[in-house]
Structures are given as structure tokens and as C-alpha cells.
Structure 1
Amino acid sequence: MTSSGCRTDIQGYQVFPLRICYQFMINYCYIILDRFSGEAAIVDPAWDLEALQGKLQEMGARPTMILLTHSHYDHVNLVAPLVREYDPKVILSRQERDYYQFSCDNLFAAEHLDQIRLGETLINCLLTPGHTTGSMCYLLSHSLFTGDTVFVEGCGICTTEGGSASGMFESIQRIKRTVEPHVSVFPGHCYGRAPGCSLASVMEHNIYFHLESKRQFVDFRMRKGQTNSFAFK
């Protein structure tokens, strides 16, 4: 596990990205710290419980919330031990919970445009299906946590159960309409650039933000002959 720095914005919260490796998987999970209350939210906790707990202890943070962008195992596998240890609320979209029958203690189903408070920090829920049927992004004043919906370099695959390239197109259009260009993007995986790029930069360099036709987008995302799941161009 390595820490990738932090960002503090004018609203009084900090974001701590954690790069965590397990076999061939590299995930980013995040700790959001509300500086006024000391409360923390953990986004997509994965793989290395000891490292995550060590970071929380170093920060002196109280984890009161877990934010899940979707229910794939590499984004949720630390939920149960964290709930046992800290008793936080666990937030997941209702669509994701119902479709995949995901369950855990302290689970709260969120709807599109729900607002959640972490101390003094406001978190907005954006339903962004495509990678899964109920993928959700979490929008703060200067930060967007995208899971496997949007990467800096591309977007998530749409071939797993409940995935939809058409849904992914609509979700990216929603992000373009909803999120301000200055907002920093924090995805679940990175493939060259570090997390925290501005949405303006993502929109400039990410090919999926340039495809204005749904048919063109779907054909490109689902094209044959891709060398691997991360062949974005």
C-alpha cells in the first residue's frame, strides 16, 4: 500500500488516496476526512485491512461511513471487518443492492441525488449505471469518486452481469452535465496518471468524453479485438 498524497479544499475536508495491490489487482480506495468533526468516510475499501487501519490511526480519524461505488468484490471485500471494528453506515445504491442482492450489516440504500453529510461535508449521490446496473458516483464540492465508471484514461467495461454500454454513455453525459470542470476525479483504478486530475483534464484526454453519439459510443466500447479490458483507445 502506498499513499498518494492528499487534497484539502476550501470546504474543510481532505482526501487521502491509498494505492493498494493484491496479486495482479491495483485498486485505489480513499479516505475522506471532515476536518471539523474528525469523521471519516472510506470509499471502496479493498484488500489491505492493516494498511487502511494504520492510515486511519495516523490521521486520528473516526470512520463513520463507507461509500461503495458498486458491489464488485475488489471494491467491497473489507466492508465486513470494517463494520465489525467501527460500526459505520454503509452506503450503496438501491439499484445495485437489489439487482445483485448485496447485503451487509448497517447497509443503507441510496437513491439518485440523495445528499449525505459527513460532519460538515456534503456528499451528493449520482447514479451512473454502465459498469454495473447500479453504479454510483459520489460528488463533493471539489471531488468526484467514480469507482469503475470513469477512469482518467477511459471508462469501465460493460460486459459483466448488469453492465450496459448504452447506460455508460448516459452516465458520462450526466457527469458532463452535472459536475463542474474544476472538480478532481478519483477513480477506482488508474492506468498511467495518478488520481486527482480535474474533470476538465479528463474531458480533454479521455476518448469516451468525445463520443457524442450513443451508437458510436456503444460500438466503440463494445468493439471486437480489444487486447484487454483496459484498451481504452
Structure 2
Amino acid sequence: MNRGYELHTLKVGLNFTRNFSYILVDNASRQAAVVDPAWDLDVILDKIRALGVELTTILLTHSHDDHVNRVDALLQIYPAAQVYMSKQEIVTYGFSCANLFPFGDGEMIWLGETPITCLVTAGHTAGGACFLLEDDLLSGDTVFIEGCGICDTVGGSPVQMYESLQKIRRLVAPHVRVFPGHSYGKEPGAPLRVLLSSNIYFQFEKVEHFVQFRMRKNQRGSLNFK
């Protein structure tokens, strides 16, 4: 695939918590961004050094601890790196760190010569976001390959989650690969067209049916999607 960037997947975690962080590299400048740095700082640093890139950017899909708990540690090593989170997320939860830049829905960030479109996709949190590239969507806890994020945390909303999934359906091309913050049986990187046919949360045509199902009682687990 001839494109101007590389995307590297990192499995990080602590005990039973497992996340995916990502490193995005602009091929022209060799500038790099880390998406949702958490848990295993050494894993992240080792990959940055192995790639021989300059970390200039940190992209945060939302403010939950398991997605941001290595931001400050990275900034101690790369103090000039700029951190991006949606304005709504920052305002709602009071997230703060050095070099923090808020963005709004549809705004573009440039990593060297690579454009990154910020999509605010509330639902899991009040200002959760996805980052859209030419061929890839970094979706945090908005949408997983198997389902979507829970909506009963502080600031969460199943109505907004429904609207966010409709936004993804509307704005993201079917070939774009989806890279979420967690895996619940399927590896990241499936094209959106697969999710549109197999992910149950894309099947609801009416918001009230979506809300009833996402918030149904007696689920075997909050991440049991069916």
C-alpha cells in the first residue's frame, strides 16, 4: 500500500487490563505520534527508538486512566511533544497535562505531511474521539471490532453513542481499517465494511432500539456485546 504513513500496534497492559496503544509515523519527516499511551512505558519507548523516529505528538481518544496514564511520563522524556484531546473531554473531566491542545469536531492535525482528522464521537465519554487517517481509524473506546464502548460511565450516553456510530458510517469509507483501544476476541485492523455487517451495534436503524439494547439489564458482562 503506497501511503505516506506507517501505523504500528502495541499491546500494553497491567494484570487483567489489556489495551492497544499505537504509534503513527509520517514517512516524509519521520515524526511520530503515540495514540493513548498507557501502562507499559518501556514497550512504547523501545518501539519509538527501534523505529528511529522523533516523537512530536500524543493523541488521546478520551481521558480514562487506562488510555492516558503514561502521558506525563512520556512528556518527561519528550517535553516538546504536543498533546491533543477534544475540548469537550477536557472541559467535562478536567483533564490536564503539559502542552495540551484542545480540538473540535472535524479539525485536522498534521503529523509532518500526514493529515489526521479529529472526529468527536461522544457516547462512551462526553468528548471521546476517533482519529481518521487515509486508510485507518483509531477508534479508542467508541467502537471495537466486536461492539461498542459502554455508555454508563460518567458523561456517557447511549443516544450520543448511536449518533457517533452513525457519524462513522457516514464519514468513514468502507475500506478504512478500524484500530480500537481494546480487543474482545478479534484483532484490530478489520475494515469498516466488516463491522457494518457483523458488529451488532451498526445494525440498529432507530435510536430507541439501540438504546434499549445497549443499556439492557442482566448482561453477562458490560463488554458482552451480544
Q: Same fold (TM over 0.5)?
A: yes
Q: Measure how far apart 1:20 and its partner are.
A: 1.1
User: Does residue 140 of structure 2 align to residue 113 of structure 1?
Assistant: no
Q: Which amino acid aligns with 1:91?
A: Y
Deviation at 1:21, TM superposition (A): 2.1
**How many Å apart are 1:84 and its aligned residue?**
1.4
Q: What is the match of residue 10 of structure 2?
A: 18
Contact 2:123 2:142 in 1 (8 A): yes
Which SS does the other structure have where 2:205 is aligned?
coil
The one-letter code of the counterpart of 1:214 is V
Question: CA shift at 1:11, angstroms?
Answer: 2.5
Alignment match of 1:73 (pick from 55, 65, 74) = 65
Q: Which residue of 1 aligns with 2:131?
A: 138
How many pairs does the alignment contain? 225
Contact 1:11 1:121 in 2 (8 A): no
Rounded to whole Å, the distance in 2 between the matches of 1:21 and 1:105 is 24
User: What code does the residue aligned with 1:146 have?
Assistant: S
Counterpart-to-counterpart distance in 2, 1:120 and 1:204: 33
Unmatched segments (≥5 aa) in structure 2: none
Q: CA deviation at 1:227?
A: 1.1
Match of 2:176 among 156, 172, 183: 183
Q: CA deviation at 1:193?
A: 1.0
Letter in 2 for 1:142: D
8 Å CA contact retained: 2:151, 2:158: yes
Q: How far does residue 10 in structure 1 lie from its aligned partner after superposition?
A: 2.5
State whether structure 2 residue 137 is matched by structure 1 residue 152: no
The code of the aligned residue for 2:8 comes to F
- How far does residue 229 in structure 1 lie from its aligned partner after superposition? 1.4
AA aligned opposite 2:71:
V
Tell me the residue number matched to 1:228: 221
Aligned equivalent of 1:52: 44
> Match of 2:121?
128
* SS of residue matched to 1:193: coil
Which of 30, 42, 47 is residue 38 of structure 1 equivalent to?
30
Of residues 50, 54, 61 in structure 2, which corresponds to 1:62? 54
State percent identity of aligned pairs.
51
Residue 126 of structure 2 aligns to a residue in which SS?
coil
Taking only aligned residues, the RMSD between alpha carbons, in angstroms, comes to 0.7
**Residue 145 (structure 1) shift:** 0.5
Code of the residue aligned with 1:37 in structure 2: it is S
Q: 1:198 aligns with which of 191, 214, 223?
A: 191
Rounded Cα–Cα distance in structure 2 between residues aligned with 1:19 and 1:48: 9
Aligned counterparts of 1:146 and 1:51: Cα–Cα separation in 2 = 21
1:180-220: per-residue Cα shift (whole Å, max 9, x none)?
00000000001111111100011111000001110000000
**Is the 8 Å Cα contact of residues 23 and 32 (structure 2) preserved in structure 1?**
yes
- What TM-score does the superposition give when structure 1 sets the normalisation length? 0.95
Q: How high is the TM-score relative to the length of structure 2?
A: 0.98
* SS of match in other structure, 1:145: strand
Could you tell me how far 1:51 is from its partner in structure 2?
Answer: 1.1
